Structure 1
Amino acid sequence: MDRIEKINEFLADNPNDNFLRHALALEYIKAGRDTEARVLFEAILAASPDYIGSYYHLAKLLEKLQETTLAIEWYEKGMAAAKTAGDNHSYNELMAAYEDLVY
């Protein structure tokens, strides 16, 4: 059984587990299934805007897909969420990626 199948098996029991959904989205990226990853990251952040790690990965994916304007928006949303959560590490990581893209 591959990792995607295994994570989906776990998600069958816990469909709203953001850790599992995030892990699945990362596996989708590894498998070249970018559209599925994007949909999953967007669903995670729509339901749980405080799930900070997904902002970075969604924005990076959007960069890869050459959707720069959207990537910038997601970095900005992520920085705001990280600041609200007091998560300085994530804020700095998002800011660095944002600055690399914008400047």
Structure 2
Amino acid sequence: MDRIARIKEFLKSSPNDSFLKHALALEYIKLGDDTGARQLFEELLAYEPGYVGSYYHLGRLLERAALPKEAIGVYEKGMEMAKAANDRHAYNELQAALDDLI
């Protein structure tokens, strides 16, 4: 069974598991399915806005899709959430991505 199938199987019993949704979105990115990945990241962040790691990947995905304004918003929201969680590493990573974009 491939990784995507395994993750989907796990999601059947834990449909709101943020780690599994994040992992599945990353697998979709590897396959070039940015649409599927974006949907998963957006669902995940709507359900658990404190899942800071997804902001970076969603922002990069939006940059690739030539949606810089949306990417900026995602990075800024992620920085806000990282600051609230006192996650300096994630904050700095998001700040660097934002600086590179603008």
Aligned partner of 1:86: which letter? N
Aligned residues: 102
- Percentage of identical aligned residues: 62
TM-score in terms of structure 2 length: 0.98
- 1:69 Cα shift? 0.6
Match of 1:65 in 2: 65
Gaps of 5+ in 1: none
Match of 1:51 in 2: 51
Gaps of 5+ in 2: none
Distance in 2 between the 1:66 and 1:3 partners?
A: 29
TM-score in terms of structure 1 length: 0.97
| Aligned residue runs from structure 1 range 1-12, under 5 A | 1-12=1-12
Q: Which runs of 4+ in 1 moved over 3 A?
A: none
Match of 2:78 in 1: 78
Match of 2:25 in 1: 25
Aligned-residue CA RMSD in angstroms? 0.5
- 1:32 Cα shift? 1.0
